[in-house]
């Protein structure tokens, strides 16, 4: 069961380096038991692009490309922190490598022209696009917090379960923040389940891969096609 794991760049911000290191160690261990393909977030690298865009009013195509290069840099960092990780830049090769060890996808060379060049498209949507392209069974968006919340600041437990239609309605109303605005459009045609979980406790990811469930938000696949991989 191939799982695409997007590691949110927010986990690499600030002084809490131990949380990111612990998550990366867990990803290395899990890659020995489960097919794992890691898609990097942008983190501080993408933040620098946002600042430049704000200051200089960059064309959307330029800022979008620069943000993808920020993901590339965070991917190099992750590949150094994840034990036994292997870097890859080709989707077919990524799927092949992920079957044997944790693979970290470097996105700068991917054919992403089908996605809008906009800040509405971040690493969340790129990870969903990758998931569909490689035929993933599960997409996991690893964030700072334990899932999606109906309102923010959170005053309740994360939403445990959503359909794609419910998720799209919440995002359209400006709720369920924490993921990018274009993600619902991509999940409308997805054949994989999507999870949004917290990354500061790596046990969440272990539980999900080992047991099939954990604390977080599960978004059902829009299209259920049994035995899709034969």
Structural contact between residues 16 and 195, judged by C-beta atoms closer than 8 angstroms: no
CB-hemisphere CA count at 13 Å for 180?
24
User: To the nearest whole number, what is the mean pLDDT of the chain?
Assistant: 93
At 125-176, the pLDDT tens digits run: 999 999 999 999 999 999 999 999 988 767 688 999 999 999 999 999 988 8
From CA 83, how far away is CA 101, in angstroms rounded? 10
At 84-133, the pLDDT tens digits run: 999 999 999 999 999 999 999 999 999 999 999 999 999 999 999 999 99
Query: Residue range 25-29: average pLDDT?
Result: 98
Q: Does 227 have pLDDT greater than 50? A: no
pLDDT of residue 17: 85
Residue 55 burial by Cβ neighbours in a 10 Å radius (0-12, 13-18, 19+)? exposed
Name the percent of the chain in helix, strand, coil, to the closest 5: 45, 15, 40
From CA 197, how far away is CA 158, in angstroms rounded? 9
From CA 143, how far away is CA 215, in angstroms rounded? 12
Q: Packing angle between helix 17-30 and helix 203-211, nearest 10 degrees?
A: 20
Query: Residue range 65-69: average pLDDT?
Result: 98
For residue 208, give the 3-state DSSP assignment: helix
From CA 31, how far away is CA 25, in angstroms rounded? 10
What radius of gyration do the chain's Cα atoms show? 16
From CA 217, how far away is CA 110, in angstroms rounded? 28
Query: Residue range 65-71: average pLDDT?
Result: 98
pLDDT band, residue 230 (cuts 50/70/90) = very low
């Amino acid at each position: 069961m191939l799982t695409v794991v997007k590691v949110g760049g927010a986990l690499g911000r600030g002084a809490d380096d131990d949380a990111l290191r612990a998550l990366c160690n867990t990803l290395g261990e899990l890659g020995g038991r489960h097919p794992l393909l890691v898609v990097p977030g942008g983190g501080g690298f993408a933040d620098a692009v946002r600042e430049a865009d704000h200051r200089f009013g960059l064309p959307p195509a330029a800022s979008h490309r620069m943000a993808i290069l920020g993901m590339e840099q965070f991917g190099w960092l992750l590949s150094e922190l994840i034990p036994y990780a292997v870097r890859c830049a080709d989707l077919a090769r990524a799927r092949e490598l992920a079957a044997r060890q944790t693979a970290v996808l470097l996105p700068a060379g991917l054919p992403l022209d089908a996605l809008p060049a906009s800040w509405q498209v971040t690493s969340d949507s790129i990870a969903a696009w990758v998931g569909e392209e490689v035929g993933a069974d599960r997409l996991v968006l690893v964030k700072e917090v334990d899932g999606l919340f109906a309102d923010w600041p959170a005053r309740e437990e994360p939403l445990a379960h959503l359909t794609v239609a419910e998720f799209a309605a919440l995002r359209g109303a400006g709720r369920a923040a924490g993921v990018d605005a274009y993600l619902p459009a991509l999940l409308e045609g997805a054949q994989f389940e999507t999870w949004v979980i917290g990354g500061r406790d790596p046990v969440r990811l272990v539980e999900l891969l080992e047991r099939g469930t954990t604390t977080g938000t599960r978004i059902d696949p829009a299209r259920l096609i049994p035995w899709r991989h034969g």
